[in-house]
């Protein structure tokens, strides 16, 4: 496995020269619209209409064989574009190959056929999804869904130069979302059941991949699970789903842009760095830009344009965020997140829990509205889910966050930056930040002492209600905050900032309420506050049990 990168670099070098009988189809280099004749079903050189290979598109027949025949024909021809004309295509697992482009035409719906029901061995008309491949050696280090790729509607492994595009829809109707449930017989129905599919698209150890323009409705456990996929472009996708939108795991050179994801029950855009490949591989050189993420809307109402929100009393997690983690063995390096909108979901999360080197991260031009937890959650923890002999606490450092506005966030949980004893978050800078939250907490809330919980699953609510209403900093080194305002809608009796075990912290041009002290300081070294409305200019070498 560790030699895979070198092997595929060699393959790319030779394929670039042009292997005998292999040519790169022009569609792989950005063209996503087939000629009109092909769209009308006439076919042409390099284009493979799935109806010519046995697919019916009637929404009743299982079209797996016809679609796969078209893919295999494109492979045999040295590459090409497999065209899905308008229609409803029911399918089980489809195996993508190198030099193949799937084009989903306007009016095309690729439907995941029903998986086997609880206690049954086959699904719709006797069909099943490909078996989840063995990955026993690494199963313990991440959730089941991250360890398997073949039990998906579309999957690829050890492939390169492949793409899926077009304005059509992938509907994961028959996919499991990976969570246990019980039918009337009491049978536990999980993704582990043989023959069940639980991902819309899964790829492992691939490179030169483009996914563009299509939509996904109810994508299973993951709309996209991309593990060890390099030179990856994801552009203009719309996802409306009941678990994760996209998981970008152990990938290098990734561009995510112009995507819209509604995922109330789980994360929307989620870089990870698991141990599923059998070694700790970082996710690095990633840009996420011009995206909208939300947990607001009822399933399907984003794609049909009705945008029906869940009522306030409906129990929905409203997760829907951008998060690095929690699977975090290999690390996150050189990550840029910019020009994104969060609405009716949780806020941004950066998490190093399993030994990850989480560093060199720039976040800018973000707007948040109706955040269900807190705007920012940065956690360096010690869950350490990985091989015991090599897994140790990682790092979370060199993080710059600027130009963020957040309106009407929940007030129970403040933004949190928390390391663990002996392992601090380092070199973090916030600038030009405005946070308005609901406020209203009593003085008793300020007395809460959050537990350390070093090895607990990380999420903003892990410590319970927070004693600060703006930011809670614990085990942090080298912190800068400049031009930051925190404004509760209702008067809040908690301090705006709490610092616990913090060394070298600078606060400049800070605006916060003055009805209570803005700063609570415990075990703080080298603090400077200047030109702020929240507190007088202050320089302290040490502070413990002090308020300002």
Show pLDDT as tens, one digit a residue, over the chain (548 residues). Answer: 444 455 444 444 433 333 333 332 333 333 444 444 344 344 578 999 999 999 999 999 999 999 999 999 999 999 999 999 999 999 999 999 999 999 999 999 999 999 998 889 999 999 999 999 988 888 889 888 899 999 999 999 999 999 999 999 999 999 999 876 544 434 344 557 889 999 999 999 999 999 999 999 999 999 999 999 999 999 999 999 999 999 999 999 999 999 999 999 999 999 999 999 999 999 999 999 999 999 999 999 999 999 999 988 888 999 999 999 999 999 999 999 999 999 999 999 999 999 999 999 999 999 999 999 999 999 999 999 999 988 999 999 999 999 999 999 999 999 999 999 999 999 999 999 999 999 999 999 999 999 999 999 999 999 999 999 999 999 999 999 999 999 999 999 999 999 999 999 999 999 999 999 999 999 999 999 999 999 999 999 999 999 99
- Phi first, then psi, for residue 136 (nearest 5°) are -60, -35
* In contact, 221 and 197? CB cutoff 8 Å: no
The DSSP element (H or E) to which 12 belongs, if any, is helix 4-17
- Reading the block at residue 86, the tokens are 């308008």
- Residue 264 included in any domain: no
| Strand boundaries in 331-470, DSSP class E | 332-343, 348-352, 357-369, 376-380, 395-409, 415-418, 425-439
* In contact, 88 and 111? CB cutoff 8 Å: yes
pLDDT score at 30? 35
The DSSP element (H or E) to which 291 belongs, if any, is none
Coil, helix or strand at residue 145: helix
pLDDT score at 143? 83
Domain hosting 124: range is 45-229+239-247+298-316
- Residue 38 included in any domain: no
- Residue 307 and residue 455 in one domain: no
- Residue 290 included in any domain: no
CA 371 from centre of chain: 17
Distance CA 16, CA 33 (A): 24
- Residue 29 included in any domain: no
pLDDT score at 414? 98
- Reading the block at residue 401, the tokens are 């966050």
* In contact, 228 and 277? CB cutoff 8 Å: yes
Q: Is the dihedral of CA 106, 321, 335, 329 positive or negative?
A: negative
Nearest to 429 by CA among 391, 504, 485, 480: 480
Write the CB contacts of 363 (distance below 8 Å, at least 6 apart in sequence): 336, 337, 338, 348, 399, 400, 401, 402, 404
Distance CA 55, CA 63 (A): 5
Domain count, the chain: 2
Nearest to 354 by CA among 294, 281, 248, 406: 281
- Residue 340 included in any domain: no
pLDDT score at 32? 44
pLDDT score at 135? 86
Q: Whole-model pTM?
A: 0.91
- Residue 97 and residue 204 in one domain: yes
Distance CA 249, CA 95 (A): 20
Distance CA 78, CA 452 (A): 57
- Residue 512 included in any domain: yes
pLDDT score at 5? 54
pLDDT tens digits for range 259-294: 999 999 999 999 999 999 999 999 999 999 999 999
- Residue 181 included in any domain: yes
């Amino acid at each position: 496995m560790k030699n895979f990168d070198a092997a595929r670099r060699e393959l790319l070098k030779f394929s670039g020269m042009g292997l005998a009988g292999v040519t790169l189809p022009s569609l792989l280099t950005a063209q996503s619209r087939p000629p009109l004749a092909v769209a009308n079903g006439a076919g042409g050189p390099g284009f493979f209409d799935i109806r010519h290979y046995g697919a019916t598109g009637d929404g009743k027949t299982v079209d797996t064989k016809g679609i796969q025949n078209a893919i295999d024909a494109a492979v045999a021809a040295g590459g090409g574009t497999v065209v899905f004309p308008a229609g409803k295509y029911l399918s089980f697992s489809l195996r993508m190959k190198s030099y193949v482009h799937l084009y989903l035409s306007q009016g095309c719906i690729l439907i995941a056929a029903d998986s086997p029901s609880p206690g049954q061995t086959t699904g719709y008309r006797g069909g099943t999804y490909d078996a989840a491949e063995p990955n026993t050696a690494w199963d313990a280090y991440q959730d089941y869904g991250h360890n398997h790729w073949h039990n998906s509607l579309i999957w690829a492994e050890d492939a390169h130069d492949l793409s899926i595009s077009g304005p059509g829809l992938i509907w994961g109707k028959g996919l499991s979302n990976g969570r246990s449930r019980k039918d009337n017989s009491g049978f536990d129905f999980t993704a582990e059941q043989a023959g069940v599919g639980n991902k819309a698209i899964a790829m492992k150890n691939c490179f030169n991949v483009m996914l563009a323009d299509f939509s996904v409705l109810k994508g299973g456990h993951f709309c996209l699970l991309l593990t060890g996929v390099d030179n990856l472009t994801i552009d203009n996708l719309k996802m409306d789903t009941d678990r994760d939108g996209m998981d970008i795991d152990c990938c290098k050179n990734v561009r995510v842009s112009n995507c819209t994801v509604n995922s109330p029950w789980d994360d929307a855009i989620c870089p990870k760095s698991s141990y599923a490949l059998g070694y700790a591989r970082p996710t690095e050189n990633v840009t996420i830009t011009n995206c909208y993420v939300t947990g607001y809307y009822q399933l399907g109402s984003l794609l049909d344009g009705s945008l029906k929100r869940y009522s306030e009393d409906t129990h929905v997690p409203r997760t829907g965020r951008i998060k690095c983690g929690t699977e975090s063995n290999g690390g996150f390096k050189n990550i840029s997140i910019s020009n994104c909108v969060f609405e009716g979901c949780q806020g941004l999360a950066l998490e190093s829990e399993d030994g990850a080197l989480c560093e060199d991260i720039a976040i800018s031009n973000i707007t948040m509205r109706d955040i269900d937890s807190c705007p920012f959650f940065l956690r360096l923890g010690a869950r350490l889910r990985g091989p015991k002999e090599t897994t140790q606490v990682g790092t979370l450092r060199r993080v710059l966050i600027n130009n963020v506005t957040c309106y009407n966030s929940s007030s129970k949980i403040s933004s949190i930056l928390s390391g663990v004893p002996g392992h601090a978050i380092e070199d973090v800078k916030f600038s030009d930040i405005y946070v308005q939250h609901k406020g209203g907490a009593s003085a008793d809330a300020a007395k809460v002492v959050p537990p350390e919980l070093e090895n607990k699953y990380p999420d903003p609510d892990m410590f319970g209600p927070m004693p600060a209403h703006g930011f809670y900093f614990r085990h942090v080194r080298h912190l800068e905050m400049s031009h930051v305002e925190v404004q509760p809608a209702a008067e809040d009796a908690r301090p705006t900032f709490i610092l616990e075990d913090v060394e070298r912290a600078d606060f400049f041009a800070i605006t916060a309420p003055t009805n209570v002290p803005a700063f609570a300081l415990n075990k703080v070294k080298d603090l400077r506050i200047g030109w702020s409305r929240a507190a007088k200019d202050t320089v302290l070498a040490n502070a413990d049990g002090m308020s300002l």
